[in-house]
Amino acid sequence: MATERGVVRRPPGRKAQILAVASEQFHRRGYHQISMAEVAAEVGITAPALYRHYRSKPELLLRAVESDLAAVRTAVRSAQGLDGLCAALAAVAVDHRALGTLWQRDARLLPSVQRAELWGCLREDIAEMARVLTAARPELPSEDAEFLCWSVLSAYGSLSYHTFAPPRRRFERLLQRIGGAVLAGTLEGLPDTGSVAQRPCPASESRREELLTAAVRLFHERGFDNVSTDQLGAAVGIAGPSVYKHFDTKAELLAAALVRSRERLWHEVEGAIAGGGAPPEALAAGLRAYVDFALRHRHHLGVMLSETERLAEPDRKAAVDFRRDFLRTWVGLLQQVRPQYESAEARIRVHAMFALVNDGVRNRPGCSRPDLAGCLVELSRAALGLTAQQPD
């Protein structure tokens, strides 16, 4: 509709609509897979019209992350007590399911200054959550309280990685129970396992294997599109063009690296489950093996989470099929131990456990704790509903 001067009025809420669409598209397909023109088309406007609201795709990503984190901040600042905190964060998790992938996968692509500002805001929210927690549990050391709060956010962020959605009220109640169980966790007296470092590559390892190892680390840390063949070559002491003696394309290297990551994960964790004995013992063995794998191979887990969308369709399908089969193994085992769990609940709990461990070993406060392995096992048991006392 035009005014007397011929100026077209923009529909109210257009900027928020663009942000919601972009957030969902980045979440579903990955930041590098989405163009501004595609966002505009989804909203129903032209690309020039979109640029009147957001100057660039990086700005759109930044605002999308800020918007979701603002919802977390509002929930934390308005919550009353632990129950209120879990309830408020559960509602945010359901309403902002893109936050987990935007924060863990796409926000790393932002400039370092912007990332630092976002981290600062999130740390403030964690400190406020820890204040609420220690008011209810004054015996908790501050570092334990903050570790528990980070773990709750990780568990709730796991909703980004699945589409299971029971009726909303049931969904939020389940998330509240999971969050309450994690915040009730006890971290004192856990064994000191020391730091677990990546195992060095054998001196006799082939150049191809060295490239696979370097690719996993670099793709995880910087993102597939931000790693050049020159950087890959330099990581193993060869010129960039020499990478093509071993892999026809960078995409082929990514696909091979992800295959190697999946093979290692399957071998170590499935082997532990298969040899664990009865379901409770097998589940415990699998959990310990998964935590151990995560501590030693955090880059492998990270690249599987962050770069699968960059694969060509046949390779992507193989990765998704693996993820589905791996999840099915855990869900079936958990239901044998907790037969009262419906499939949706078991899946949601398993995803929460995966996210809690995956985030716990990667680039966040607490990941250098000497008792980290024990902490992650204990809190994973809480997320799965295996601890002795669970909230009602």
Tens of pLDDT, residue by residue, the chain (392 residues):
444 444 444 555 899 999 999 999 999 888 888 999 999 999 999 999 999 999 999 999 999 999 999 999 999 999 999 999 999 999 999 999 999 999 888 888 899 999 999 999 999 999 999 999 999 999 999 999 999 999 999 999 999 988 888 899 999 999 999 999 999 998 886 776 544 444 444 444 688 999 999 999 999 988 898 899 999 999 999 999 999 999 999 999 999 999 999 999 999 999 999 998 999 999 999 999 999 999 999 999 989 988 988 899 999 999 999 999 999 999 999 999 999 999 999 999 999 999 999 999 986 777 888 999 999 999 999 999 998 655 44
Domain boundary among 122, 139, 156: 139
Residue 276 inside a domain? The answer is yes
Q: Is the dihedral of CA 61, 67, 73, 75 positive or negative?
A: negative
**The pTM of the whole model exceeds 0.85:** yes
Residue 128 inside a domain? The answer is yes
Residue 392 has a pLDDT of: 42
Residue 202 has a pLDDT of: 47
Residue 113 inside a domain? The answer is yes
CATH number of the domain bearing residue 227: 1.10.357.10
- Residue 256: which domain range? 207-384
Whole-number Å distance between alpha carbons of 156 and 95: 11
Residue 11 has a pLDDT of: 55
Residue 293 inside a domain? The answer is yes
Residue 388 has a pLDDT of: 65
Residue 125 inside a domain? The answer is yes
Assess whether 122 and 241 both reside in one domain: no
Residue 37 has a pLDDT of: 95
Assess whether 109 and 212 both reside in one domain: no
Assess whether 214 and 65 both reside in one domain: no
Whole-number Å distance between alpha carbons of 52 and 60: 12
Assess whether 135 and 227 both reside in one domain: no
Domain boundary among 139, 160, 186: 139
Residue 193 has a pLDDT of: 56
How many Cβ atoms from other residues are within 10 Å of residue 280's Cβ?
A: 14
The enclosing H or E element of 97 equals none
Residue 150 inside a domain? The answer is no
Assess whether 134 and 216 both reside in one domain: no
Assess whether 323 and 224 both reside in one domain: yes
Report the chain's terminal Cα–Cα distance, integer Å: 54
What token pair was written down for 106? 């796409």
Residue 389 inside a domain? The answer is no
Query: What are the start-end ranges of the H helices in the chain?
Result: 14-29, 36-43, 47-53, 57-78, 81-95, 99-101, 112-136, 142-157, 168-183, 207-222, 229-236, 250-265, 271-274, 279-296, 298-307, 313-337, 343-360, 372-384
Residue 164 has a pLDDT of: 82
Whole-number Å distance between alpha carbons of 236 and 293: 24
Assess whether 118 and 222 both reside in one domain: no
- Report in angstroms the alpha-carbon separations of 64 from 68, 154, 159, 380: 6, 18, 17, 29
